[in-house]
Amino acid sequence: MMASEASAMLLAGASSGDLMTDALTRIAALGAGDGAVLVRSRADVTIGMAPSASVVDPVAAYVRGDRPADPRVARVRPGLDSGFRLDQDDFAPDEIARDPYYQEFLRPIGFGWHACALLGVLPGGDEVHLSIKRRFDRPPFSPAELAELTTQLPSLRAAVAFANLTLPGHLLGGVGPVLAGGRSVFGLTAGREAFPIERTPDDAHVLALEDGAIRLRLRREQPAFDAALNRALALAESTAVVLTAARGGRWLARFIPVSRFAPSSLVCLCVLTELDVVVEPAPERIELLGRLFALSPAEARVATLIGQGLSIAKVALRLGVSDGTVRNHLKAIFDKTGVGRQVGLAVLLARI
Q: Which CATH architecture has domain 3-166?
A: 2-Layer Sandwich (3.30)
Cα–Cα distance between 303 and 316 in angstroms, integer?
A: 12
pLDDT of residue 218: 92
Output the CATH code of domain 283-350: 1.10.10.10
User: How confident is the model at residue 166, as a pLDDT?
Assistant: 55
Q: Say what the pLDDT of residue 174 is.
A: 30
pLDDT digits (tens, 9 = 90+) for 136-152: 888 888 878 888 778 77
Stretch (H or E) spanning 237? none
Cα separation, 197 vs 185, in Å, equals 5
Domain residue ranges in the chain = 3-166, 183-274, 283-350
The string of pLDDT tens digits covering residues 16-45 is 555 677 778 888 887 788 888 888 877 777
Residues of the chain with pLDDT under 70: 1-6, 8-9, 11-19, 47, 123, 164-182, 259-265, 276-279, 350-351
- How much is the pLDDT for 329? 94
The Cα–Cα gap between 140 and 90 comes to 14
- Under CATH, which architecture does the 183-274 domain have? 2-Layer Sandwich (3.30)
Q: What is the pTM of this model?
A: 0.53
pLDDT at 175: 27
What pLDDT is attached to residue 344? 80
Whether 3-166 and 283-350 share one fold: the answer is: no
Cα 207 to Cα 178: distance, rounded to the nearest angstrom: 22
- If we measure between CA atoms, which residue out of 51, 61, 38, 49 comes closest to residue 108? 61
- Residues ≥6 apart with Cβ < 8 Å to 279: 308
